[in-house]
């Protein structure tokens, strides 16, 4: 039986954006929504995948790639975390890979002092083709190492994933047990409409953890349409808060008591036979 003697609680916020091709505009929008989330007393705030850029060409994106530890996007995230005294999970940004023709799609976590305390490079690279859409991230993105990333935030074990990782449950099993999964995303409208909500709830239920999924949600200047539906889900699969489309903030409280109730009542994590 997994039990928590205390009932530690913490307020979270996930930001939904409709990012475009101009870094300065995206950072202004992110700063506004971070401030709104901080006003709601959120202690952990998460941005969506590609919060800083969703543009027209790979050439534009390449111009914004940073070396780890240096660059205006990382500086922005550090300053925002320190300004508001929050733990900021910085969506994703491009970090330089050893192969200079590619980059890592990376999530960085900053503590309330503005220090980077965790990094996760996206492992699973999205590929999808239909009559009207074509995506192949492996053309420009370098897959991260096959190492699950878990960071302790105020006593909660927080696992990190990015977008397409959602379809690979073995990644999150390898982390566990975790208390919270944070999954920044920019799901396409097509795949999101079919699978997003189902997959998020499944990951919460099977891992008996909270899931916080900040997403891109709307029609972007480059014509791409993302699914949105940023949400916070509890360990029983109950959606605590959800934003379907457009920019805004989803928030709610996670508590160890709820984790204990679910895991004690249905101790599935102790019944595993395959590892």
**Alpha helices, H only, the chain:** 23-39, 58-62, 72-84, 169-173, 189-191, 197-207, 256-265
Q: Which of 122, 137, 209, 247 is catalytic?
A: 122
pLDDT at 255 over 60: yes
User: What's the rounded mean pLDDT across residues 246-250?
Assistant: 98
Nearest alpha-carbon partner for 206 in 271, 130, 140, 136: 271
**pLDDT tens digits, 75-108:** 999 999 999 999 999 999 999 999 888 999 999 9
- 116 catalytic? Reply is no
SS (H, E, C) 211-234: EEECEECCECCCCCEECCCEEEEC
Tell me, what's the pLDDT at 28? 98
Average pLDDT over residues 144-164: 96
User: Is pLDDT above 60 for 55?
Assistant: yes
Residue 1 has pLDDT above 50, yes or no: no
Q: What rounded mean pLDDT belongs to the chain?
A: 94
Residue 131 has a pLDDT of: 80
Confidence label for 2 from pLDDT (cuts 50, 70 and 90)? very low
> Known catalytic residue: 122?
yes
pLDDT of residue 72: 98
Distance CA 37, CA 83 (A): 13
Burial 224-235 (b: 16+ CB within 10 A, else e): bbbbbbbbbbbb
Torsional sign, CA 196, 179, 248, 108: negative
- pLDDT tens digits for range 61-71: 788 999 999 99
130 — pLDDT class (breaks 50, 70, 90):
confident
Question: With pLDDT > 70 as the criterion, what percentage of the chain qualifies?
Answer: 97
pLDDT score, position 142: 95
Catalytic-residue membership of 157: no
Residue 5 binned pLDDT confidence (cut-offs 50, 70, 90): low
Q: Which of 43, 52, 61, 163 is catalytic?
A: 163
Q: What is the mean pLDDT of residues 271-275?
A: 83
Mean pLDDT for 217-222 is: 95
């Amino acid at each position: 039986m997994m039990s928590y003697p205390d009932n530690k609680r913490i307020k979270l916020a996930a930001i939904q954006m409709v990012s475009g091709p101009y870094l300065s505009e995206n950072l202004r929008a992110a700063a506004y929504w971070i401030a709104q989330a901080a006003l709601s007393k959120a202690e952990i705030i998460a941005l969506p995948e590609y919060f800083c850029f969703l543009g027209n060409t790979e050439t534009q994106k390449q111009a914004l790639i940073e070396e780890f530890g240096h660059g205006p996007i990382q500086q922005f995230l550090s300053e925002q975390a320190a300004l508001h005294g929050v733990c900021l999970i910085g969506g994703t940004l491009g970090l330089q890979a050893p192969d200079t023709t590619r980059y890592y799609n990376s999530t960085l976590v900053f503590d309330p002092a503005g220090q980077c305390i965790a990094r996760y490079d996206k492992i699973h690279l999205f590929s999808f083709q239909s009559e009207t859409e074509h995506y192949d991230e492996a053309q420009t993105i370098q897959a991260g190492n096959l190492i699950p990333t878990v960071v302790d935030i105020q006593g909660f074990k927080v696992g990190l994933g990015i977008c397409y990782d959602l379809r690979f449950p073995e990644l999150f099993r390898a982390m566990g047990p975790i208390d919270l999964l944070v999954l920044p995303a920019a799901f396409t409208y097509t795949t999101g409409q079919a699978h997003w909500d189902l997959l998020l709830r499944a990951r919460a239920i099977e891992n008996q953890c909270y899931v916080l999924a900040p997403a891109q949600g709307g029609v972007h200047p480059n014509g791409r349409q993302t699914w949105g539906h940023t949400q916070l889900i509890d360990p029983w699969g109950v959606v605590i808060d959800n934003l379907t489309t457009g920019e805004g903030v989803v928030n709610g409280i996670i508590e160890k008591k709820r984790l204990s109730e679910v895991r004690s009542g249905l101790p599935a994590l102790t019944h595993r036979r395959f590892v």
